[in-house]
Amino acid sequence: MTGSEPGRLAEPLAKVLGARTAGSLEKLGLATTGDLLRHYPRRYGAPGEMTPLAELRVGEHVTVMAQVRTTTVRQMRSRGGAMLEAIVTDGRDSLQLTFFAKRAGVLRMHEDKLRAGRRGLFTGTVGDYRGRRQLTHPDYVLVGVDAADEDAALAEASRPIPIYPAVASVPTWRIGRAVRAVLDPLTEADVPDPLPVELRERRGLPTLLEALRLVHVPDTEADFARGRERLRFEEALVLQTALARRRADHEALSATPRPARDGGLVAALDARLPYALTAGQVAVGEAVASDLARDTPMLRLLQGDVGAGKTVVALRAMLQVVDAGGQAALLAPTEVLAAQHARSLRALMGPLAHGGMLTAADDATRVVLLTGSQGSRERRAALAEAASGAAGIVVGTHALLSETVQFADLGLVVVDEQHRFGVEQRDALRSRGERVPHTLVMTATPIPRTVAMTVFGDLETSVLSDRPAGRQETVTHLVPAGNAAWIDRVWARVREEVDRGGRAYVVCPRIDGDSEEEAEDVPLDALEADDAGEGSGAERPPLAAVMEVAEQLRATDALAGVGVSVMHGRLAPEEKDAAMARFASGEAPVLVATTVIEVGVDVPEATAMVILDAQHFGISQLHQLRGRVGRGDKASICLLVSHSEQGTLAHERLSALAATTDGFELAEKDLELRREGDVLGAAQSGGRNSLRLLRVVRDARVIEEAREEATALVEADPALSGHPELAVAIAELLDPEREDFLTRS
């Protein structure tokens, strides 16, 4: 918000408001005047509009608009002292306000203000006394009373009431008063505006100072709507300009062109595939092939729902680079997934991956695996093949990022499940060669277009939306965890799948029951791990743990004689490989696991997925887990076992998952259900959310318009030398160490 020189908006609140007030505001993360002015009201109360008191819940911290019905002061016989009791109403239901004091005289101030008929905002924690809801010693402000004079009181009584995000010790009106103390003296010169004047005037938007006054001190609903519109557009423009600059910087880099070659490995692979490529795979493959042939490094996001065939698209791209004399690196988030990728690529390629062997096809190359847990001999051999160029494709985890890993000619980096990696990790590979390698980023997490435009705005985006032929739909059911008969049926259903030659995954949130900690691969995208029991007040049982559940299943009559193995992140690599081998072969057709099997694990025989404590996971992760079944030609089932109650967010997202297998529809639903700030929050190293008013689903049009404006600005003035306020806003939003968060999900 500030200009190039520290100005009024960079002043510490302690200097402007005093240490006491500043100390309380610091609890909200507000340190400067600029921080305070960007702490926007979350909603507005209409002066005559009452809060429905029947909806209040005991234990909830609330701010309600209500009208005083009665106020009485009396002496307390049992404990001494005096008590004031005021009853406020929304016209239908009532709420008790209670104040205690040693003497009745101390309460006269409240008695005088809380007169029958007056309306006000009352804030506190809802308690229960003899079946009546009450607020004890609430803070309050009365409409038309807490003002300097009659004119001010009338104005205050008629305008919308800003209600701010607050904490118990700093009620909303104290924040409002602090805002006014900071805002009222400011002039246009004190508030540098990130929006270029020409753009602002062309779009009919107010200045930043005007917008701040419209949202903090509106006279009408139209005022705060207009102020918010301008501030939303500003947020979108700052983000999109940062992304446009990244795109421009990227376009200035040089890469070695890797054009397609007739009769090479790509053509040989296509001839080997037992199925025809889908129309989507062909179209995306052509776009990728065209990118690889350019002398500007490709930076493309390939998103496709689970089972859409991204691996084949990536392999064809890697082989095009090998055909052109280069190497490709495939970066996977876990050793389990890296090992599986290596196996899958070799299986798809057959003799094409046998370079240097008697069984090799013409022009064959090698696929090598490089992970941190390999033995020294195996690791040395893999390093030598990567450095010599004998290995055209090197698959690994972050071990590939080590300085000891050298490539003869790295031409392409494929990053699987982009959200599992920091940008620094990805860029470590991209900066290895003398020229920047091409980059293909893959994700099976469906991303709504507006999110892709906001979070991956500097990447070209391709989508695989059609499923390969023969893939079966997976039927999903929600199972109440407290219904013993239904739980028995779950395990009987698993036995039926096993008897038909299928395999079953059983997913748990924790590894063992002795530890209070959850598994290291605990879900990152759950809305609220504890929201499943909202409103019940009942204590929920501990989360299911892999080791305990495995023992229980081995002793379950329904699974008598069925092999049960376990998989989790604490196992040694060889133990993980052995567990997957037993599962895939059918020796142990039931695999109890954490979410370590979430992405990429591909066992076509798997036809059943049971997710215990499903309320603990978010929509995206549940969809990924469900994608581990239905990968063959047999119908599959997913059973979501949950303690969630109807009416809770957890139950709503589980019901959404059961209703559709469309990943993009679920991604939109996920965004609707998330708390504010979650969309970009995880990408900012714990910093405050950059999007205060902008919402990527609701504000798609604003984002698109801001993207067009930002692109034009950067094309005309790449360094933004003519727009210093905008450059400063970008620098403040994205400090140099964290600017790359824009390419993370």
Provide the pLDDT for residue 722: 94
Burial pattern 472-511, b for ≥16 Cβ within 10 A else e, equals bebebebbebeeeeebeebbebbbebbeeebbbbbbbbbb
Provide the pLDDT for residue 401: 72
Q: Are 615 and 651 in contact (CB under 8 A)?
A: yes
pLDDT under 70 in the chain at which residues? Answer: 1-6, 47-48, 146-157, 168, 306, 358-360, 417-434, 445-458, 467-471, 513-540, 598-601, 671-690, 697, 734-745
What confidence tens digit (pLDDT) does each residue in 725-742 have?
999 988 887 654 444 444
Q: Are 318 and 395 in contact (CB under 8 A)?
A: no
Provide the pLDDT for residue 185: 94
Please name which of 45, 25, 44 lies closest in space to residue 166, comparing C-alpha atoms: 25
Residue 641 tokens read as 């076992």
Provide the pLDDT for residue 107: 93
* Sequence-ordered strand ranges (E) for 130-230: 132-136, 139-142, 161-163
| Cα–Cα distance for residue pair 479/75, rounded to 1 Å | 56
CATH architecture of 265-292+309-443: 3-Layer(aba) Sandwich (3.40)
What confidence tens digit (pLDDT) does each residue in 664-709 have?
777 777 766 654 344 433 333 333 445 788 877 678 889 889 999 9
Query: How many Cα atoms within 13 Å fall on the side-chain side of residue 584?
Result: 13
Q: Are 723 and 196 in contact (CB under 8 A)?
A: yes
Render 564-630 in DSSP notation, one character per residue. Answer: EEEE-TTS-HHHHHHHHHHHHHTSS-EEEE-GGGSSS---TTEEEEEETTGGGS-HHHHHHHHTTSS
Tokens 């979350």 correspond to 42
Provide the pLDDT for residue 711: 93
> Is the sign of the CA dihedral 179, 180, 181, 183 positive or negative?
positive
Please name which of 665, 658, 276, 668 lies closest in space to residue 473, comparing C-alpha atoms: 658
| Cα–Cα distance for residue pair 1/208, rounded to 1 Å | 9
Angle subtended by helix axes 221-251 and 208-216, to nearest 10 = 140
Please name which of 444, 718, 707 lies closest in space to residue 600, comparing C-alpha atoms: 444
Q: Kindly report each contact of residues 107-111 with a partner whose C-beta sits within 8 Å and lies 24 or more positions away, as own/partner.
A: 107/73, 107/82, 107/83, 108/73, 110/71, 110/84, 110/86, 111/71, 111/73, 111/84
Residue 670 tokens read as 């996920």
Provide the pLDDT for residue 591: 96
* 740: exposed, middle or buried (Cβ count in 10 Å: 0-12, 13-18, 19+): middle
Domain 45-163 part of CATH 2.40.50.140:
yes
Q: Are 464 and 279 in contact (CB under 8 A)?
A: no
Domain 474-660 part of CATH 3.40.50.300:
yes
Provide the pLDDT for residue 386: 93
Provide the pLDDT for residue 362: 74
Residue 405 tokens read as 């890993």
Residue 596 tokens read as 């370590």
| Ranges of each domain in the chain | 1-42+166-187, 45-163, 265-292+309-443, 474-660
| Cα–Cα distance for residue pair 407/560, rounded to 1 Å | 51
Sheet bearing 590-593, strands edge to edge: 474-480, 636-642, 606-611, 503-507, 590-593, 564-567
3-class state of residue 513 by DSSP: coil
Measured in degrees and rounded to the nearest 5, phi and psi for residue 351 equal: -60, -20
CA R_g for the chain: 30
Q: Same CATH fold, 265-292+309-443 and 45-163? A: no
